[in-house]
Structure 1
Amino acid sequence: MTGTPAPFTAEDYASRMRRATEAADAAGLAGLLIAPGPDLVWLTGYRPGETERLTLLVLRAGQEPVLVVPTLEAPDAAKAAGAPALTLRDWTDGHDPYEVSAALLGSTGRYGISDNAWAMHLLGLRERLPDVDHVALTRALPMLRAVKDAAELERLAAAGAAADATYEEIRTVGFAGRREREVAADLDALLRRHGHSQVDFTIVASGPNGANPHHEVGERVIERGDMVVLDFGGLKHGYGSDTSRTVHVGEPTAEERAVHDVVRAAQEAGFRAVRPGAACQDVDRAARAVIADAGYAEYFIHRTGHGIGVTTHEPPYMIEGEEQPLVPGMCFSVEPGVYLPGRFGVRIEDIVTVTEDGGRRLNNTSRELATVD
């Protein structure tokens, strides 16, 4: 993909809202209550700033979508790409936004509500409608955003290619003698140079820090002989990237190579398990079995993968107990790891999309153990 993709249209957003409303109705919900965050962005294209004032999209079968919005935010809401498919209902300071919202809802029923809705807003709604129940959206409709269309896949592929280009360049910089935060800053700059508008994380976990999967970069000086876990990503054209590779500063030991080979084989096994109809847990089982057979079961301490889209972490999750079947268009990470406390860690991660006959990687850099200076 080259250039900037065509923006989503009002009809694209109208179609998403219709599908979401139909899914809610089929799930026995009275409707959906969508707060600012990734669900609202995906459904309407509107991304308001974080504020204590209530903004709420109400979706109900048989009713046009309504966006409750503060009056001072209404002009920006009206400019959103999905606004033509919405009715705006504004409220002014000094008036009760929960009364405005309650008027759009029935006096009973169960609504799916965005996971990231503020507690004060949920409590405000419950005070006005005590007989209305609520359930977290990812519990009620976990697959709402999981299956991507062609335009979304195009954006995810572009984000993955940008992350790949970042990895190829970071391998050429010096590691030894530099602090983790300095290499992390290089990753941030490279992601932005390759088109990311937002960088969500740049993990640089060297030596014993590599045994912490979500290590926060710090002042540790990277030394020759260190394994270094690199995990980085963010948003390009509104869709996420997330990739991990493990490099070694100078020549690795035989043990370090062996552990890396185990993780590489596990990552390959997880990828090979991707196919329509397989359960999410099958991907986790395939990757985990390789690590367990090699004797490192206790050192693989997280799920094998997570969904990705307008956020870098979303359903579905590749973990034991998740029986949701894979369908074409789903996108998620496959990222097994081994973490040896006090010594080093290894993780290898690709974003994968389900195709009609298997899976396709959106990250295509070498998964071999790379040496850096």
Structure 2
Amino acid sequence: MSTDTSDIHARRLMAVRARAHDLGVDHVVVYSGEDMSYLTGERMDSHERLTALVVPVADGEPLLVLPALELTAATRRAAERVGATIHPWADGTDAVALVAGTVSGRIAVSTALPALHLVPLQDGVDGGVVLASEVIDHVRAVKTPPEVEELAEAARRIDSVHARMGEFLCVGHSEARVGELITAAIEQEGLSHAEFVIVGSGPNGADPHHGVSDRVVLEGDIVVVDIGGPLASGYHSDCTRTYSMGEPRTEVAEAYAVLEEAQRLAREAVRPGVAIGEVDAAARDHLAAAGLGELFIHRTGHGIGLGLHEPPFVAPGADTVLEEGMTFSVEPGIYRAGRWGARLEDIVVVAADGRRDLNTGERGLRVL
């Protein structure tokens, strides 16, 4: 990203502090992983050894607590970006007690903090421990213009892979072979790696999280292809298209037309001030009216950024109010168990006057 990273991370820390203050939180404990990467620019996975950024909400410098063996140039850069003091600890030290001794009042912790650390932390503080969902997740959910442009570039590159699908998805290829070719194309298009590849042919398309198998693609199959990968910056892509190996049966073509319209209606519902559950309802209600509601078996979408799946979630009844900059997938699907499935997924961002579609590739049922 072109903006100065120190400014980016300082602003993010300021936003987390402001949000925490509004919610009556005194300290925020940020765990290694996506939350840490968002605030510091470094992921710093530490496995069973505790790595945490302790952020006092009112006064004082953040404290980066990490295993001494993880004290590297990268972790020093991370600390510098947020003005944190580093406290390395050696094996044999009770790192959770160390963190507990530096906090007071109401503590908000990253949702990814494992029970291994959370339970003793709860026992070691007096002010109560709450999840930081309403603090960090909310800040992460509202993307800045540079973040949106990173996501737009990731979307453009994954659209380019779908545009080339005729090179990979062929009758006679196994799903696994198609997946190998797609993986290579994702890297050729400049994404850092294939985060996931789903090639669900025929009855496998009725499993939303199928993956790939040794099943050979047959003439007449409907094939769900859901793929994504991040840019080097860590911002993800995620896009699903459905393909027909030859002209589709009438039943499939008619059902897919309903699905395509349901997805369009859901995208059209995206605008500031709308409860995100209304986006889900727009797709779900249209499918139900066509008698396909029971075949839509998952939520309509998920947020995307440094995490592939992150808040906000586009689910029935969800009451998150959309704000400019929130970015998420819109991906209704229909699944006829044992026969075929279809899904259509685009990433959209809430704009001041409605929405922006980050994926712009062909949405119809493409015949190969």
If the length of structure 2 is used for normalisation, what is the TM-score? 0.95
Please list the CA deviations of residues 224-249 of structure 1 after superposition, one character each: whole Å capped at 9, or x if unmatched: 11000010112112101000000011
Aligned length, in residue pairs: 365
Q: Does 1:270 align with 2:266?
A: yes
Q: Does 1:223 align with 2:218?
A: yes
Please list the CA deviations of residues 55-114 of structure 1 after superposition, one character each: whole Å capped at 9, or x if unmatched: 1011122121111111221223103385462211111222221232122101xx332211
Match of 1:258 among 250, 254, 257: 254
Q: CA deviation at 1:284?
A: 0.6
Match of 2:177 among 176, 182, 185: 182
Q: Is the 8 A contact 2:40 2:82 kept in 1?
A: no
Aligned-partner SS, 1:198: coil
Tell me the residue number matched to 1:303.
Answer: 299
* Structure 2 unaligned regions, length at least 5: none
Q: Is the 8 A contact 1:13 1:82 kept in 2?
A: no
Match of 1:195 among 190, 197, 206: 190
Please list the CA deviations of residues 306-363 of structure 1 after superposition, one character each: whole Å capped at 9, or x if unmatched: 1001011111111122111111111000101111111111100000001111111100
Q: CA deviation at 1:197?
A: 1.4
- CA spacing shift, 1:26–1:81, aligned 2, 3 Å: same
Tell me the residue number matched to 2:199.
Answer: 204
Aligned-partner SS, 2:341: strand
Matches of 2:51 and 2:79, distance apart in 1? 17
Tell me the residue number matched to 2:358.
Answer: 362
- CA spacing shift, 1:140–1:49, aligned 2, 3 Å: closer
Instruction: Tell me the amino acid that sits aligned with residue 158 of structure 2.
Output: A
Tell me the residue number matched to 1:39.
Answer: 35
- CA spacing shift, 1:40–1:8, aligned 2, 3 Å: farther
| Residues 1-373 of structure 1: pairs in structure 2 closer than 5 A | 5-6=1-2, 8-61=4-57, 62-75=59-72, 76-80=74-78, 83=81, 85-106=83-104, 109-129=105-125, 131-138=126-133, 142-236=137-231, 237-372=233-368
Please list the CA deviations of residues 169-196 of structure 1 after superposition, one character each: whole Å capped at 9, or x if unmatched: 1223342111111111122111111121
Matches of 1:141 and 1:238, distance apart in 2? 18
Q: Is the 8 A contact 2:143 2:326 kept in 1?
A: yes
* Structure 1 unaligned regions, length at least 5: none
- CA spacing shift, 1:82–1:322, aligned 2, 3 Å: farther
Q: CA RMSD in A?
A: 1.6
Q: CA deviation at 1:218?
A: 1.1
Instruction: Tell me the amino acid that sits aligned with residue 262 of structure 2.
Output: A
Q: Is the 8 A contact 2:154 2:236 kept in 1?
A: yes
- CA spacing shift, 1:142–1:46, aligned 2, 3 Å: closer
What fraction of aligned residue pairs are identical, expressed as a percent?
Answer: 41
Q: CA deviation at 1:30?
A: 2.1
Instruction: Tell me the amino acid that sits aligned with residue 91 of structure 1.
Output: W
Matches of 1:96 and 1:81, distance apart in 2? 21
Q: CA deviation at 1:298?
A: 0.5
Instruction: Tell me the amino acid that sits aligned with residue 363 of structure 2.
Output: R
Matches of 1:19 and 1:248, distance apart in 2? 47
Instruction: Tell me the amino acid that sits aligned with residue 276 of structure 2.
Output: C
Aligned-partner SS, 1:229: strand
Q: CA deviation at 1:155?
A: 0.4
